[in-house]
Amino acid sequence: MRVKLFLISALFCINAQSFAATVLDWRWLQIADQLPQLNIDLNERTKFRLFSLNNPQRVVIDLLNTQSDLNPVAPQNTLLIKEVRLGDHHNHLRIVLDMIRPATPQAFWITTPQNNPRLVITFNNAQPIIDSKPIDLPKKISEPPVSKFIPKGREIVIAIDAGHGGMDSGTIGNSKTYEKHIALAIALELKTIIQQNKGLKAIMTREKDEFLRLRERLDRARKAQADVFISIHADANRDSNQVHGASVYMLSPKGASSEAAKWLAEKENAADLIGGVTLSDKDEVLASILLDLSQTGTLELSSKLAQNVLSSLGKVSHLIHQDIQQAAFLVLKSPDVPSILIETGFLSNRNDEKNLNSPHYRRQLAIAIFNGIQNYLSQNVP
């Protein structure tokens, strides 16, 4: 009798091992401005469980009696899901989504064009991106003043300029990290964050690995009527690999005045608007005064923008300079757009290079830059 029972239970176990359903395909769907959606195609409809767990935030999908030979990956650049893990759980296929921030999952069945059942997982009510807690930052980022800053009327345009590109690699790190790639990766991260905030619009001077003349960067930002201009770079020090940390630059008054001369010289060629005033029809003296006024105001705003971004960056990164740096960088020379340049770290320093190669660290930097911009905008609504 005992033997029989054992046999029966053994048989039951073997039966239970044969799975009812198989995963045919996993796919993340990214619809613009929406949270990502996970599509799981199966050969058979199966029972499932869907629930959330806290500390750390996870969403769990159990597909009963299901197997999969395919490994799902996390969606790209969504700031929602960090990682996707697969496991067995009493013959069930367990899918664990490690969340960057909490969101409410929902699941429903549809049928694919090939007539297979598809389980669709969607997310709602995601916590705002700027809450630092679920992002698991090593140093705390202060709460951005969301309530203070509600843009009215037109969208606020933030121009993001990824330094270098194409044949201009920028500086190159010890482990062959190219500045142009790091700059673009942080810029894209920043764009993603900005786009998820209502009333803000991000425009990029370059979105791929292309060479751009410096003037072209300015022109693209000005054409898009940018309210602020953020140029992103990485540094290098030829003499010492010990030098590390981030810094923030604005245009020096000297650079501004030499630029003013150039603008005046060129005023016949282009009917450029400075703060809504055309220079080309003004006489030299008046044009010079108008340009001066516009530039002084812009330098003041650039300094405020730089200060906000600097103190926000200081919460996630070592700062090589505690003060705003001033230089005659050409990309900062728009006379009517507050502009800053961020050196995000030193590729000549082993640790900085390692950090800048980490998507997690780059995201922290992007969030810090965003918080700084937002603080600035809350005090200086364009």
Contact positions vs Zn ion (CB under 5 A)? 163, 170, 233
CB closer to Zn ion, 170 vs 255: 170
Using CA atoms, how far apart are residues 206 and 231, in angstroms rounded to an integer? 11
Q: Which is nearer to Zn ion, 126 or 331 (CB)?
A: 331
Q: Which helix (H) or strand (E) holds 124?
A: strand 117-124
Least spacing, CB of residue 182 vs Zn ion, in Å: 10
Residue 155 is classified by DSSP as: P
Residue 153 buriedness (CB in 10 A; 0-12 / 13-18 / 19+): exposed
- Closer CB to Zn ion, 84 or 341, in the complex: 341
Find the shortest distance in angstroms from Cβ 185 to Zn ion. Answer: 14
Chain residue whose CB lies nearest Zn ion: 233
Is residue 294 classed as helix, strand or coil in its secondary structure? helix
Q: Measured from the CB of residue 19, what is the shortest distance to Zn ion in angstroms?
A: 54
Q: With respect to Zn ion, which residue has the nearer C-beta, 80 or 234?
A: 234
Q: Which is nearer to Zn ion, 97 or 341 (CB)?
A: 341
Tell me the Ramachandran region of residue 70: left when phi exceeds 0, alpha when psi lies from -120 to 50, beta otherwise: beta
Q: Which two tokens stand for residue 86?
A: 């697969």
* Burial class for 256, CB neighbours closer than 10 Å (0-12, 13-18, 19+): buried
Minimum CB separation of residue 231 from Zn ion in Å reads 8
Residue 248 Cβ vs Zn ion, minimum distance, rounded to whole Å: 14
CA distance 167 to 381: 38
Q: Between 81 and 236, whose beta carbon lies closer to Zn ion?
A: 236
> Which value, in Å, is the radius of gyration of the alpha carbons in the chain?
26
Nearer CB in complex with Zn ion: 119/218: 218
* 343, containing H or E segment: strand 339-346
CB of 184 to Zn ion, least distance (A): 12
Q: In angstroms, give the least distance from the CB of 233 to Zn ion.
A: 3
Count of CB atoms within 10 A of residue 175's CB? 10
Q: Toward Zn ion, which CB reaches closer, 36 or 170?
A: 170
Distance in Å, CB of 232 to Zn ion, minimum: 9
User: Three-state secondary structure along 85-103?
Assistant: EEEEECCEEEEEEEECCCC
83 forms beta bridges with 98
For the chain, the farthest-separated pair of C-alpha atoms sits apart, in whole angstroms, at 110
DSSP strand pairing (81-89 vs 92-99): antiparallel
- Spell out the alpha helix ranges (H) of 234-357: 253-265, 284-313, 350-356
CB of 341 to Zn ion, least distance (A): 8
Q: Which is nearer to Zn ion, 62 or 235 (CB)?
A: 235
- Structure tokens given for 310: 């600097």
